[in-house]
Amino acid sequence: MRRHDTILLVIVAALLGMTWLLPSPSSRADEETKSTEKAAAKDKPGVKKTVLRAFMQKKLAASQSVLEGLAVEDFDLIAEGAKQLKTTAGAAEFMVLSDAEYLEHANDFRRIVNKLAVAAKEKRLDGATLAFLDVTMSCVDCHQHVRNAPVDK
């Protein structure tokens, strides 16, 4: 067992060492990547965006709780996840002053999360599972919109 671990460690270390030691040829593509990275670093990310992203990470964690709750039929966990989704969504909305379509997505999201909360309260596993699918679609729809019409930083 220990021998295996040691061998594995040596292999990993060797691989890491190789990538570090390899001379990195600075091709034109590299230069271009560097300059785009620099440009990206210049106008990103503002405080607002950083906070917004933190809220979104919370949303992601809350969705995971919901999924776990669905998987093990724990309605309290589903309800708790739904509650977190609702509060973080409300807070995140403050961060984005945006167009009508964004607000529509935000309203949809709230409505669907409510559906999820109600299904959890009424202990309807199928209903909660379907609502969770809708929640997921809603994440994707809003993100698709945001990607096409980026929010101000």
Which residues contribute to the site for ligand HEC (CB under 6 A)?
A: 49, 52-53, 56-57, 59-60, 63, 85, 96, 105-106, 109, 135, 138-139, 142-143, 146, 150-151
Shortest Å distance, C-beta 72 to ligand HEC: 20
Query: Buried b / exposed e across 68-105, counting CB within 10 Å, b at 16+?
Result: ebbeeeebebbbbbbbbbbebbeebbebbebeeebeeb
Shortest Å distance, C-beta 49 to ligand HEC: 6
Shortest Å distance, C-beta 26 to ligand HEC: 29
Q: How far apart are CA 137 and CA 100, in angstroms?
A: 19
Task: Show the tokens assigned to 77.
Answer: 């966990």
Shortest Å distance, C-beta 32 to ligand HEC: 23
Nearer to ligand HEC by Cβ, of 17 and 46: the residue is 46
Task: Show the tokens assigned to 17.
Answer: 């060492």
Nearer to ligand HEC by Cβ, of 49 and 83: the residue is 49
Q: How far apart are CA 89 and CA 94, in angstroms?
A: 9
